[in-house]
Structure 1
Amino acid sequence: MTTTVLIIENDPGSGPGRLLDWITARGLTPVVVRAHAGEPVPADPDGHAALILLGGGMLPDADTDSPWLPAERELLRTTVEGDQVPVLGICLGAQLLAHTFGGEVLGKHGLPEKGVTELTLLPDAQADPLLAGLPSTVPAIESHQDQITRLPDEAVLLMSSERCPHQMLRIGRGWGVQFHPEVAAERVRTWKPDTLRAWGFDPDDVVAEADRRADELEQTWSAVFGRFLDIALLPPGRGRPGWTGTGATVDA
């Protein structure tokens, strides 16, 4: 059985965080490719149980400044279209998923989100294997100014927020989240106060809310990520777990 999870790191300031602990707790081994440092992006996920694309401050088509992005988009396309392994894209990773399959991403669009944000589950979330059974609203850590402004035709929209309508999408077995399930409250405390103020947020309020909701955030996103790993660990030939919604495949 494959026991590794491939993680593509796009920015030294946006690492895998607590995903590493959640992966190793399941007896799996994370394999981190630091694409921003020149480590080559694989052409396919062969030999791994899942693919995770992390965040970064660039747009998904910023190929001049981030020359590894074309290879990352091709890896994403190959993996999702071939239904090879499940995919999770976080922040930039979600934007890459949308952009690669024909959606639109705009820089500094709308109002920024920073710190704990309330997310609303949409109707298709009720049958999604990662989200089924969650409350109608859940908290998540956000840190973005760019956002997905148009979904690909085949995408299923799963979650939204007041400032950002496209918070979570799914294409086949590829999920994209605009928020940061990997970020713990400890990381929020390291955010620069001047940046928070520049984005229109009170630094003390952002840190206090992250601390207050820390246990809830941990419980919610460790469980959701655990379901993602459950799908990654399905034996070959078992097919997908049954779920419904546009763009999904349901077991016969």
Structure 2
Amino acid sequence: MDVLVVQHVPGEETYAIGEALRARGLRLRVCRMWEGDPLPSGLAGVRALVVMGGPASAYGDDSAFPSRAAEIALLRTALARRVPVLGVCLGAQLLAVAAGGRGRPGDGLQVGWGPVRVRARAAQDPLFADAPARLGVLHWHGDTVDLPSDAVLLASCDRYAAQAFRIGGAAWGLQFHVEVDAAAVEMFAAAFPEDAATAPGLRAETPGALAALAPHRDVLLGRFADLVAAR
């Protein structure tokens, strides 16, 4: 059985997520949406669903994001069948919408390294248990979500409340990026130079930020991979 990965744009790959899954012997089946790969209509033979980020929005005119409705439908199927889900950035926003929340514009770009506060309820979460009270992560978004009432908020910050959340028992949304390495950060900066210009210390901060993040990232993503492998 495969882990289905929905990748929206070149470069926004799974990085450390994929490494953790492959280390457990799991195989990734990647739908490269920019190349026109067909999105499965169901989840037969799928052990988990990972939906990555991209510059599109989880709301608005579908002509700008033709696969939006199909991706939301696939996420709803995963929630109904309790298939493990990990949504990153745009993927997290689509997960929230699939669960009954609402995507909307935020109050401006949040780009660069910065902390999130891990909430008290995260102490009982299968992925976030034992995470530090402040976790330094890479932000790269301008949209946000209003979470559905049954979502469990796991991490937040002053500008954007919905930074990490869980829907049900096995679906997580991460507005921020924990999956990145140095090459990924450079790719983001090269692909979105105007965004990167709003975080002038991005490149200089990356080595130290990654070193601090790595042990917590590895635990969090390893737990998700273990959950998937145990199915």
5+ unaligned residues in a row in structure 1: which ranges? Answer: 236-252
Bigger RCO (CA 8 Å, 6+ sep):
2
C-alpha deviation, 1:187, in angstroms: 2.2
Deviation digits for residues 140-185 of structure 1 (CA, Å, limit 9, x no counterpart): 111111111x111211111001221110111112110101122112
Corresponding residue for residue 136 of structure 2: 139
Judge conservation of contact 1:77–1:100 (CA < 8 Å) in 2: yes
1:111·1:163 contact (CA, 8 Å) conserved in 2?
Answer: no
1:195 is aligned to 2:194: yes
Specify the code of the residue in structure 2 equivalent to 1:214.
L
Distance 1:206 1:106 in 2: 26
SS at 2:46 equivalent = coil
1:36-75 aligned at under 5 Å gives the runs 36-61=34-59, 62-75=61-74
Bigger drift between 17-26 and 49-58 goes to 17-26
Change (3 A) 1:80 1:137: same
| Identical-pair percentage | 35
Structure number with the higher helix fraction is: 2
Instruction: State the alpha-carbon separation in 1 of the partners of residues 65 and 225 from structure 2.
Output: 29
The number of residue pairs the alignment matches comes to 227
Identify, as 1 or 2, the structure richer in strand.
2
In 2, the alpha carbon distance for the partners of 1:58 and 1:187 equals: 19
Name the CA distance, whole Å, in 2 between partners of 1:111 and 1:66. 21
Structure 1 residue identity aligned to 2:180: V
**Post-superposition shift, 1:13?**
4.0
Whole-angstrom CA distance in 2 between matches of 1:25 and 1:233: 10
Amino acid in the other structure paired with 2:154: L
Tell me which of 119, 138, 147 is aligned to 1:151.
147
Moved more, 62-71 or 159-168: 62-71
TM (normalized to structure 1)? Answer: 0.84
- Root-mean-square deviation (CA, aligned residues, Å) is 1.8
2:206 to 194, 206, 210: 210
Q: Do the aligned partners of 1:117 and 1:161 also contact (CA within 8 Å) in 2?
A: no
Amino acid at match of 2:194: T
- Residue 89 of structure 1 and its aligned partner are, at CA, apart by 0.5
Q: Aligned partners of 2:54, 2:218: CA distance in 1, in Å?
A: 22
Does residue 231 (structure 1) correspond to residue 231 (structure 2)? The answer is: no
- Per-residue deviation at 1:18? 3.0
- The structure with the larger Rg is 1
**In the alignment, which residue of structure 2 is the partner of 1:184?**
181
Q: 1:120 — aligned with what? A: 117
The separation in 2 between residues aligned to 1:197 and 1:90, in whole angstroms, is 19
